[in-house]
Amino acid sequence: MFETNLSIKNKTGLHARPASELTQLCQKYDCDIRIIHNSNEINPKSIISILASGISRGSSITLRVAGNGEEEAGRAIAELINSFRD
């Protein structure tokens, strides 16, 4: 299992464009991907789940990836999330 803690730095959090980019990337991987925010598990393969989560700037999240290609997927997703800046 790949797991890492991340901090959201984008001024709009994970809304609209960042959520769309994240969903598109996650859907490319055939593994279980979860984002944990305020004890809620979010499926980032669903843009509705991301938008409904209310992940805003300064939020701390945990990214968990399990299954086939978990390391590759986890690193790519973490890199994308970290690239979302003002």
Q: Which residues are catalytic?
A: 15
Q: Are the C-beta atoms of residues 67 and 15 closer than 8 Å to each other?
A: no
Determine the Cα–Cα distance for residues 86 and 64; give it in Å rounded to an integer.
25
Largest CA distance in the chain: 33
